[in-house]
Structure 1
Amino acid sequence: MKRFLLLVSMALFTTDWHGELTCYTERKISLFCSWLPVPCAPKTTTYTIILKWDKISKPFERTTASTSITIERKFLYMNRAVIIWVSANYSHESCVKTKNISIIPSKAEKCAIHSISAHQLSNKLIIKWDVPKKSMQYELQYKEARPTSSQWILVPTANDAVNVTVSDLNSTSSYVIQLRCLPSEDNHCVCVWSKEILVPHKLSDKPTISANETIEISPGRINVFLQWQITQSRNVIGYYVNIERIPNSCNDRPERINVTERRVHLNLSMAYYRFNISAYNEAGESPQITYVVPDFTTTVLPGQITAIPQGNNTVVTWTPEYIPKCFVVDWGTGKEDMHMKIITKPMGNFTLDHLQPYKLYKIMVHASDICECESFMRHEGTFGVTHFYSVQGVPRTGPATVKISNIMKHSAIVKWTEVPAEDCLGFLQEYRINYTDTMKNLSLAVAVNSSTTCYLLTGLKEKTAYKVQISGVTTAGEGAQSRSQFFTTLKYDKGEFEGIVAALCLGIISTMFFLPIICSLMLRRSRKLCWPTLPNPRDSSAIQDVARIIPRANQGPTSRLLLQTQTDNDITSLHVIEEDSKASLKLQPFIEDTEDNSECDAGQSESAGGSPDICPSLLKIPEKATATERDTRAPLLSDYTSMEFSQKAMLSLALNLPPWAAHPHMEGKLNNRPGKVEQHTLFTPQDYVKQSQVVFTPTGPTLMEETSLS
């Protein structure tokens, strides 16, 4: 209820503006409403449209920033009357609204106006539209297109009128018009202004070429296709295409073609032709656009022509395949400097005089079966084309631009632009590239084809400065050179320096890896050369003396094992072999009882599982020994002993051994001597006779304890 009162208060206390609110249904599925913007309102102005339905308390409203809105079918009551207005809020205190309109959506259809056309003729506007199905009256409004702030001017029309003319207008101005019907009781449709239509005062814009193509359709004949566009195409009635042959020696008016489409196809000879295209309407003709058919190059023509300079004249000759009614000869230095000569006699030569030296001339010979100027465009065909100089000179300029790129250690690429045709003064035969070593002032030159604008210089020296100049060469000689270009070759090619660094690093790493191995091999080799292999201890006289001093019969299994000859002469480590008590070498002093010895002999013969070299009675070692016996030791040997020193050591050992050990036959006599010291010797043979390999130990409490101590 409060919402409704607020809307009523807005409708009562706000001012109206001429908003031209219009609403109509579109295909009975939606309601479209539009209105004019509030004058001088800011861009942030918002509009709220309100629909108050008959007998429905809650109105529909929607806010938008646009000046039009479409309301969907689901929010409409198609058969109920509705009051519609729009309010504009552009400040907190300012609010305006349109006048209220009342419609029934199901009957509010738009009145259609079809095919409106308008054009300006001098100072008048002529507007036409189609005849409506029902009798209607229309009204027109117009204004100047510029400025945009100009006001609309309303023009009434007669009933059932289908055109209107507005006079006394500015002939230099363009106008914008709108048309709509006037509502009546017989018509229940909604009258809406049509879209704005621009009526130019005149076709002021000229057409622009949008596409062109030239193709050969037969030897000596080409097809020219042109397409254009214009910004005022809506007001254009048609187009004029004027075709003019160059040169126009007949002084005839150009042939005019009238077309309605914006394109044209024409079959012509290879002569120069000029096209002038313009648009027209009731107001007049637009400015023309000019198009000249470009040179068309082909290698297939019906005949060949030659031009031979002879003094100040040039003789042109040709041999036709057939004799036409006439030949048309065109020659000149360009499109704007062409001359034409019609030859009706059956001749195959023509002499040109008063030619300028150092100028490039183009000559074309055309054949036609109809010798009338107005018929050449349709009937002539090109017989042959050639270029010539009456007098040739040397190029007066070199290439305007010379660039050096891809500079390497021994090469560089030179690029240049062509010498302009007007500066060649003759047929260009080749380009000459001069490059000079600035340090040694040594110049070299190379010639390349005239169609080439790029060359690779090779054989250059590294880290050297060069100067490059290029000139054109004609049959008359070499022309002017281009500006000097300087460059310096590189010391290393691309990637070369990186490769050297990589190879150096790889060499250092390889050296660090293989150097220890090489040194080790060299050290071993030098050791073999400087220190020969030591002799086999088996052949040592010291070991042989030991074997004689201690008979093999008195050695136990362990000592015999230790004294076995070693086949390897390169053993340098000390072997300490521990045996159990039964296999250990134990030496027992001789005793007087001969029965024990006999028992030993018997035991040796009867023993099957044990060693035959060990006597059981000899395995018993006295628990006590004299002090003199304990102190009796063999002298220590040096680390590696010579033969002489080894013999002395063996001699000292023999002196300290008991007599029965050195001489078994004295066993009985020694055992009968009281207080005799018992001494035991243990040998541990190795490859080399060392101090640690020959151990002499006195008899102690037990031989096992002495072995453990050693």
Structure 2
Amino acid sequence: MSGGGERSGEAETKHCWLGTYMHVVVVGLMLVLDAPVFTNVHVSAEKCKPKNISAKYQHCGIHPDGVHNLDCFRKSKKDEKCTWEPGVHGSKSYTFILQQVDKAHCVAYYNLTKPNQKLRIFDYNFTVEVIESSAGEANCTKAVFSGSKKTLKRSCGPPSKVLPTRTPGALQVNVTWLKEDGNNRISVRYRALGSRSWNETVESQLPNAAMVEKLTPSLVYVVQIQCVTTAECSQCPWSENYYVPSELTTQPIIVSTKYADIMQKTGCRLISITWKFPVKDLYDGYRVTVWKESGEPPQEQLTTSEPEIRLILSYSAYRLNISAYNNASVSPAATHVIPQHSFGDGRLNATVHNSTAFTIHWRADRVRKYVCYVVEWMKKGHSGWYQSFFEDTEASKTVSSLSEHLEPYTRYRVTLHLRPNKNTCNMKHINNSESTYGSTEFYHTEGSPVSAPANVSFHNVTLNSATLQWSHIPEEDLRGFLLGYIIYYTEHHYREASTAHNVTVDPGSTSFHLEALKSGTAYQVQICGFTSEGEGIRSNPSVFKTDQKVNFSIRGAIAAFVVVASLLAFGSPVIKRAKAILWPRLPNPGHSNAVRKIESPGQLILEMEAAVPPQTLSSMLPHVRTCEDDTLEMAHAWSEGDGDSAADDDTADTLLDTQRTHFQSSPFTFAGGYTTMEMFQQLTPQWVAEGGSNIKGEPEDLTVLKSVRLDYVRQFSTSPPSDSEFTSTLL
């Protein structure tokens, strides 16, 4: 029983799940089938009865915030339509009702999403109602238009395409109309972005274009356009708003340019140019226009969003214009000229026949690979001329019937370029379209130079040489191929003839080292260039002078060397001996007997007291003590010194300067050399002869010793007194 019950339960469960699943599937199919009903809204046209349709929407009123500006017009004979503007809160779902009571015609269009509808009317009066429902039929607004087919105005516009272009301080507006509208004059109204009021309307004088002036370059403007009403266009609605960005008034700034030869492609170079734009967020990109200086078309215009460009070009001369742009303005262009690159390796030669024809020659191996060529020729400072041609047999080309005759004495450069195309030799585009084969130069008629080298100067002038420098002759003054320079130099003597010399140097030189000149001689120099037609004008005379020769004797040099060597070897002893003779050295007081006796002061005091009477000695003491304090130490230094040093001489000079005034009046000034105890005997001979006893003096009498030693020193600092002076001193 239990087993059967379990199986019965499982069966019921499966049946339940199956029923649920089938129910879901059925509901899903219903939703799928019904989906078009809810998601796809079809515009349908139904016939209606005027009374019934009017009663159905009679509750919908005309409101400013509802649907408005309903207008019906004729675009062509069989093209009538109505347009309107939606309400503020509308659902953008409209019902369009057309009634012609006289014809008993009523048609209703439901579920319109666009604010326009074509008309299909008869030649009777008609009424159009547009119903806009916000939330069902209960909440709706309407707009009404009445007219007739005969009186229906013809409407032109708005234009199908508008192209505003800003120029300095102005705006150029160009429009395109639909075919049925034809070409019409236009009216333009504008206002600055953010402003609510429109400026005055500007009408054009010519069809399809108008010019608005006196605009501020930095402002963004809003523009609307309509046609000017005429008999054929009696109704002209305004177009939608067109936004015109501010004017681009600054040009890009070129930052760097690089030219690099491409090793894998002979005669081609990689051109890399980078720039910057000062104003950000006002441009959409850059336009780069490239063309050849020779004037050969085309002018290729490239656009880029990055401020850089790379081109593969030949060695010809090119010109680039770089501008920033937006949808209404183009900035002033930054111009860069890529100069022509000379490629003269002798592979190209030119032969001039006359003023209107010349022939170029190249290697024959090129003919087997290339058949399209272009030859360019130009003179310095001019754009030049070109001629493209096809050649598959001869390695030469004669260019004749020149539009401008070749000028005499003028240098021309001719260049040959190779083009890989074989179907046409005209250049289709600029980038990576040709390579340069070679170039050369020619003159139709040559002449001699009409100017001389300038800036003649001299450097590194020596006894017999000098370096001469000058500047090249300008190319336009050469009038031919320069073959070299001739330097004329002569000795410059006043009213005397001298031999002229000349030397020829290479045409590429601007300096020359003159040698084998005479020393101390003035030279006059002139320089001129020369071509195959002869010498040109000489430069103004320039004068320089070589250095003077200095007489130099070998014997005199040897004698001077011997004298100097002798002075160095024997000069020191001789100088010392002369000094000893002419300026004798002062005696050293340390070797004096008096000083030796003074070194025992007690003995000296006793001797002086015995030799000099007391009254005389006492009269002398004031004189002795006068210079006692300021000279005692220096005198003591002498007594201890060793007389060979230079300090002894300096000390004696110092004493001479400082104590001269005291020496003349001192009673102890003597005329002798070394002073001993005998001077005391000379001063007081009578007392020495009688003898005397040793008298013990007071301690302060020691100043007598100091005075004696000082006077001993002072006698060498003064000139010796005469005998009369000495006698008067004793008396």
Shorter-chain TM-score tier = 0.3 to 0.5
* Structure with greater helix share of residues: 2
Normalising by structure 1, we get a TM-score of 0.42
TM-score normalised over the length of structure 2: 0.41
